[in-house]
Amino acid sequence: MPLILTIESTCDETAAAVINDRLEVLSAVVASQEKFHEQFGGVVPEIASRAHVERILPVIDSALRKAGVRLSDLDAVAVANRPGLAGSLLVGLMAAKTLALAGNLPLIAIDHLQAHIYACRLAAGKDVFPCIGLIVSGGHSNIYRCETPLDFTPLGGTIDDAAGEAFDKVASMLGLGFPGGPALQRAAEQGDPKKFRLPRPLLDDDSRLEFSFSGLKTAVRYQLFGAGKPEMNAATLDPQLVADMAASVQAAIIDCLAGKAMLALQQTGFQRLCIGGGVAANRPFRERMERLAAERGIELHIPPLSLCTDNAVMGAIALEKYNAGQFATLDLEISAGLERPHLARST
């Protein structure tokens, strides 16, 4: 029974898990860095990488202990090597290479974005491919045609900011704190989503499976402080205004994500949609997608909240590569940065 240790360190979560060939999770450990980045209103790459250095070995050791296994019991080591923050990726990759070399174990490279969609496979307990995959996170808002767990074709995505980034930056403007997504959702519960007329960029363009959220952030700033004027202290904003703006922004982002997801299904003829990433934890977004799926006869898969944010359990996609004999060599490198499908098509 193959046992695989999976390692995740693409951004600001240090995580490790042990998975067997039945996709059973024998252990899962996540060390969050939220408190380190909260004062800055976003993830600071250098702080993230230093925290990974301090935590990576204790997290791995804890995962092995909780699973009741030793390094010699493993059949492979898997690590997310793309995409993400360069320093963070390097910490996880170096740890995985060291363990693979010391234990004479195969090394498996994981695509972090593919793993987010594979979380739907884990939650469903059955095959969910082929499907349309929508990844919505702090750095990505991408749409893929997923023929198999390892065969992804980009169909579109954001041309500037991701949905999660829009949540974080608007939350910062409103003085709601970090991480912005959960804070904005809580504030929106007391607000009117129709109070402010905000743009839904590209939503009415049926020829493009693309998002744009930078203009939405600018529109919020102008509504709050006026065009060409400096930002005021968020503490001076009326609480009801904050709630109404939070609700209006959340509604605009959800409209864009839902609209393009439905367009992707329409254009491809697929009837199965899998959604992954941190923004998939947003309750109103989940509810909207569930309603649309029920109305249109779409098979929808969204992982539980624990598998939406970054974790090592979704690294179970490594089992697909293990069974296919797709192993990496010890000269494996990272592929840092963000994946933007529109840029890939233009080169």
Annotated binding-site ranges for substrate: 135-139, 168, 181, 282
Specify binding-site residues for Fe cation. Answer: 112, 116, 310
Specify binding-site residues. Answer: 112, 116, 135-139, 168, 181, 282, 310
CA distance 44 to 36: 9
Q: What is the full DSSP assignment across 168-222?
A: HHHHHHTT--SSHHHHHHHHHTTS-TTSS----TTTT-TT---B--HHHHHHHHH
**What are the b/e assignments for 171-183, b being 16+ CB within 10 Å?**
bbbbebbbbbbbb
Structure tokens at 189: 């519960």
Decide the pairing of beta strands 272-276 and 299-301. Answer: parallel
Structure tokens at 242: 């904050």
Tell me whether the omega of the peptide bond preceding residue 130 falls within 30 degrees of 0, making it cis: yes
Distances (CA, A) of 148 to 117, 127, 137, 261, 265: 11, 9, 22, 19, 16
CA distance 323 to 52: 30
Give the distance between the most distant pair of CA atoms in the chain: 63
